[in-house]
Structure 1
């Protein structure tokens, strides 16, 4: 065997070892959401300022600490998202929603009809949400309380709002399982696998987004998966569309 052939074989072997090591490191980032230590691992990455991927009640999402400036910048960079396009936050309950947003004009009964679930409520942000890189083009904030145990329990454990956006590159389709955004794994702190979230294309629809920042008025920002339910609730509480 010639010296040149040996060099080529060594280079191929080295490349294969490198690929194997990279694959191993990526697998190490994957956590099943049903294991007891998954929440602690997710909180660890959030405390570090990392971005993680996790399941929600609609599609897989990318999440980070909403009040961490570096984490928010990292979130936008990973997604390839325009900084002028806002992201929502995720909180654990209605009391938390009122802490991070100005919702004094919204009755608890109305909020309890809308949340938890696949609905994002847009209101003015409170002074407690003071990250200058979080939606710098608007004073408003979209707030979600997903109806999914893992992310709700994580919000309670982390005790801070999570910035939340879908787990995909900007302008690409949303993800129903972790392999659909495998190209992002290397940039994430951890990937939390809750299994397949749906099988039809309709399941890829995002949450319904409704602006309730003006007392007694609403504006549909995005139709999403729960528009019919949302409009019915608006009608029941005599909330009128903003003309």
Structure 2
């Protein structure tokens, strides 16, 4: 049975954030709100948790995770960022964007694109997920919480609990900003390329 945390979107309760963080540190899978729908999140350290997320999503081993980071400094740890890329990242973070960048040595090979050695990274503007990142002191692996039979990502905490209460370790119920996917930008191209139009505007 999944634990169920109702967390205030503007003033997250530290005790509940710590409990959710502890579950992730122990290898758990958590349904977490972001600024673009809900996501399934886990630690980079637990392959079993990553396998559970892939199974829930109905995707194969090549479907990429996104690395959720606290800030630009953390992105710089897990990706190689040049000056022009940094300027764009600074302008668009935090926000509902996913950036494709060349992975650094800190990213395990199994989490990189198998041919391009890239990784998707984002810095969300949602206060609850930011509080969770602070409590963990490390990034989160994530995939959008969109089940195989659904056309849109899940966006209501209690519905997620009812649907996945035996398949995840916790559900964080909190307000979200948008229902939809992030906008994906490939920063390894010059100029950057729009890979997927999402809830955030394409910067022109």
Normalising by the smaller structure, the TM-score range is 0.7 to 0.9
What stretches of structure 1 of length at least 5 have no aligned partner? 1-24, 233-243
Superimposed CA distance per residue, residues 145-204 of structure 1 (whole angstroms, 9 cap, x where no aligned partner)? 000111112112212221111223135221121233332221111111104x36xxxx42
Higher deviation after alignment, 74-83 or 203-212: 74-83
> How far apart in 1 are the matches of 2:55 and 2:34?
21
Q: What is the CA-CA distance between 1:105 and the residue it aligns to?
A: 4.3
2:114 to 137, 146, 152: 137
Q: What is the CA-CA distance between 1:106 and the residue it aligns to?
A: 3.6
Structure with the larger RCO, 1 or 2 (CA within 8 Å, 6+ apart): 2
**Aligned: 1:170 with 2:151:** no
1:111 to 61, 85, 89: 89
In structure 2, relative to structure 1, the CA distance for the partners of 1:47 and 1:41 (3 Å cut) is same
In structure 2, relative to structure 1, the CA distance for the partners of 1:32 and 1:145 (3 Å cut) is same
**Aligned: 1:206 with 2:163:** no
What stretches of structure 2 of length at least 5 have no aligned partner? none
> How far apart in 2 are the matches of 1:205 and 1:167?
10
Superimposed CA distance per residue, residues 19-46 of structure 1 (whole angstroms, 9 cap, x where no aligned partner)? xxxxxx44xx101123331211111111
**Aligned: 1:91 with 2:60:** no
Q: What is the CA-CA distance between 1:62 and the residue it aligns to?
A: 0.7
1:191 is aligned to: 171
> How far apart in 2 are the matches of 1:207 and 1:131?
24
TM-score normalized with structure 2 length: 0.88
Kept after mapping to 1: 8 A contact 2:158/2:173: no
3-state SS, counterpart of residue 204 of structure 1: coil
- Relative to its length, the structure with more helix (as a share) is 1
1:128 is aligned to: 106
Q: CA RMSD in A?
A: 1.9
1:37 is aligned to: 15
Q: What is the CA-CA distance between 1:60 and the residue it aligns to?
A: 1.1
How many residues matched? 197
TM-score normalized with structure 1 length: 0.74
1:218 to 175, 186, 192: 192
> How far apart in 2 are the matches of 1:119 and 1:186?
30
Superimposed CA distance per residue, residues 68-105 of structure 1 (whole angstroms, 9 cap, x where no aligned partner)? 32221121122222222212110000000010111134
1:180 to 142, 156, 159: 159
> How far apart in 1 are the matches of 2:124 and 2:83?
22
> How far apart in 2 are the matches of 1:56 and 1:79?
17
